Amino acid sequence: MVSLPAAAESGSPKHSVQFYGRDDDAFVANVSRYLGEGLQRGEGLVVIATAAHIRAFAGRLVEDGHDPTRAIHQGQLLFLGAAQTLSLFMVDGEADRDSFRSATRVVLRQLRGKTGRREIRAYGEMVGLLWNAGHSAAAARLERLWNELLSENGLQLLCAYQIDVFGKEFQAGVIDEILCAHTHLEPESINRNLDSAVTRAMTEVLGAKAKSLPLIFDSRAASWAILPKGETTVLWLRDNLPEYADEILARARGY
């Protein structure tokens, strides 16, 4: 069994991460489901995202039977631009701690003024923007600042990175720091069919050899976020069977 990271122990705030690639629909559905759960529970929500994703999330919430416009007017839901929010606290290429805390304090105060003692859940793409721009160290620092804030305020946070789980960038050496900063990795697909697709592809490519491999899939880092089985398998393939990984994952993507 894999030990849970300290941040994921019972009673600690949940800090999840969502990776997305080509299938933007699944990503939008995942995030909108997370936001919809918060609306149903009367929680305060802050969404820090690109304009395109804000439109997509709002539209999906409506499709799922929610009323984001009403939630905005009631002060339960805040939509903030990711780049604009980043500009409030980035100094010399990294997040300034005092400026970050000042900016988030304003948002939390505004939400709590409307929702009282109910929980607040946040969704953010600022770290993703930094990552896409090649500023992985700045993204890691911002994740640490978020973790400080979560532990002090009991918030729930979902972050997003544009990293394709079928792509070469999804391997332990590349995303180790991201996984260490979070408590949970959310499944890539809303119907959790990644595991079945990868298993099917492995059986076709590896034949009988595939049956013995699951015995060693639990060799994950204890400091990582809790990973779904499908994503764990993909990481294992990249690290342990690189000569087969591309073919297996190309088939799995199709499935």
Gyration radius (Cα) of the chain, Å: 19
The answer, yes or no, to whether residue 80 has pLDDT greater than 70, is: yes
For residue 213, the model assigns a pLDDT of 72
pLDDT digits (tens, 9 = 90+) for 111-127: 999 888 789 999 999 99
pLDDT tens, residue by residue, 156-201: 999 999 999 999 999 999 999 999 999 999 987 655 688 899 999 9
Give pLDDT, residue 136.
96
